[in-house]
Amino acid sequence: MEKMANRDDSMGRREKLANFAAICLWIITSLTMAVIAYFVHGQDFRGYYAAARVLLGGGNPYDYSQVAAVLLDVTGRAGNNPFYYPLWFGWFVAPLAWIPFQLARALWMLFNWTVWSIGLVRLQQLLGWPPKGWRNWLMNLLATFVFAWMTWKFEQTGILLFAMMVEILFAYRKQHWNRMGVYLALSLIKPNIMLLPVATLAAWLIRQKNWRPVLVMLVILMGLILVTTLMTPDWYQPIFRANFGQGLTNVLDGPNQVTGTRLNTTLLDWMKILLVSRDLRNLLYAVLVLIGLLIVALTVSKSQSIMQVTIISVLITFAITPYALQYDFPPLTIVLFWSTALANYAASKKIPLLIISSIASVLIWERPISEGYWIVIGLCGLAIWSWQVNKNKEIPQNLL
């Protein structure tokens, strides 16, 4: 008995040591990544900051010539930073535009690191997985490397999308319908990423005869559009000018100053680097879009699980969206954690470990950012495998 007690004490000490080492590793690594991103990289906060400065000066942020002038004055170059976000996002960033640019950048990075850390904790509470201790800290480290690192490097908004999706799911579980509607509305700061998931969730809620979150979302969106239009009445005029969307397909260094072609992390650009002909690319893309939308429609009509609706809509979004980059991927963190949680109930752990290792390796060997699409493919495979091996088992309520 004494030997068993000593053995248990020894195992307990090793477990505590492993837990402490893992949390230190995650926190130190994530902070180091954020600091490196701030001092070595940085890109898109320039555009947010300049657009906000234009707004505060009474200008129009969709007029790239106005934004480029601020960028040139503040950072010394115009760069490829036209403003394509909803007008209300520019006003949300406006408080940062009152302070010096580099300090504003630091606050944006700190804000994103904090939101990411809280979002991961909230996601684990939502799913009830991984178990507290070294496992969940190592999962945080994996997710930070695969998703947050690229977003921090480009100072993008993907982490905000991830955190808002987690809060949408939390609000649904707690039946906080008003809060759910608010987050559904705010998550549309990037319609190219969030329009399909939000529309899918709205349709599913309506099918469940739960109108309140949808109505709150619509009221919030209309309110934001109305208020910001009153503040910037002519905001829509530049949208109708020639070459307004030029920055989505070309690399610019000021208005009409094209320096290259943009590479996206999408199916079309992924097939391009595989040397698939244009006609075949377009055909395959059209077929996948139709299949994806059909899967979404069937999910809305048949599923009783908001988690399943969310997972499928997010995966389909990144599979078929015509415009996304790897820094938009943080919402896929929910897919990674959910699929891994399901895989934990499978008899064999080799296949999910192989898929997860392959996904993590992409950031090491990818060269053009288009190769990041392999992450989407890997997560689709992981989600399908995890669901199939558990479809006849009783799935924990937290995963539904």
pLDDT at 280: 95
pLDDT of residue 144: 97
CA distance 165 to 328: 13
Separation between Cα atoms, residue 225 and residue 26, nearest integer Å: 40
Q: How far apart are CA 65 and CA 54, in angstroms?
A: 10
- 74 within a domain of the structure (yes/no): no
End-to-end C-alpha distance for the chain, whole angstroms: 43
Alpha-carbon gap, residue 142 to 160, rounded angstroms:
18
CA dist., res. 269 & res. 375, Å (int): 14
Q: CA 258 to CA 330: how far, in whole Å?
A: 29
Query: Where does 41-100 have alpha helices with state H?
Result: 45-56, 64-75, 87-93
DSSP per-residue letters across 154-208: HT-SHHHHHHHHHHHHHHHHHT-HHHHHHHHHHGGGSHHHHHHHHHHHHHHHHHT
Examine residue 130 and state whether it is found in any structural domain, yes or no.
yes
pLDDT of residue 109: 96
Residue 11: predicted pLDDT? 58
Using CA atoms, how far apart are residues 290 and 306, in angstroms rounded to an integer?
Answer: 22
Residue 132, CA distances (Å) to 9, 128, 149, 167, 368 in order: 19, 9, 23, 20, 37
Helix (H) or strand (E) holding 84: none
């377009």: which residue's tokens?
282
Number of domains observed in the structure of the chain: 1
Question: Looking at the domain assignment, is residue 302 inside a domain?
Answer: yes
pLDDT of residue 202: 98
Residue 255 lies in a domain: no
Cis peptide before 130 (omega within 30 of 0): yes
Is 234 part of a structural domain of the chain?
Answer: yes
Note the pLDDT of residue 9.
Answer: 58
In a domain, 252, yes or no: no
Distances (CA, A) of 349 to 136, 301, 338: 17, 32, 15
Tell whether 368 is covered by a domain: yes
Show pLDDT as tens, one digit a residue, over the chain (400 residues). 555 445 555 656 788 888 889 899 999 999 999 999 999 998 889 999 999 999 999 999 999 989 999 998 888 888 888 899 999 999 999 999 999 999 999 999 999 999 999 999 999 999 998 888 888 999 999 999 999 999 999 999 999 999 999 999 999 999 999 999 999 999 999 999 999 999 999 999 999 999 999 999 999 999 999 999 999 998 989 888 888 878 778 777 777 777 778 889 999 999 999 999 999 999 999 999 999 999 999 999 999 999 999 999 999 999 999 999 999 999 999 999 999 998 887 767 788 899 999 999 999 999 889 999 999 999 999 999 988 877 766 677 667 6
25: DSSP letter: H
Question: Would 301 be classed as within a structural domain?
Answer: yes
Range of the domain at 136: 2-40+99-240+260-399
Q: Which one, of 208, 211, 194, lies nearest residue 324 by Cα?
A: 194
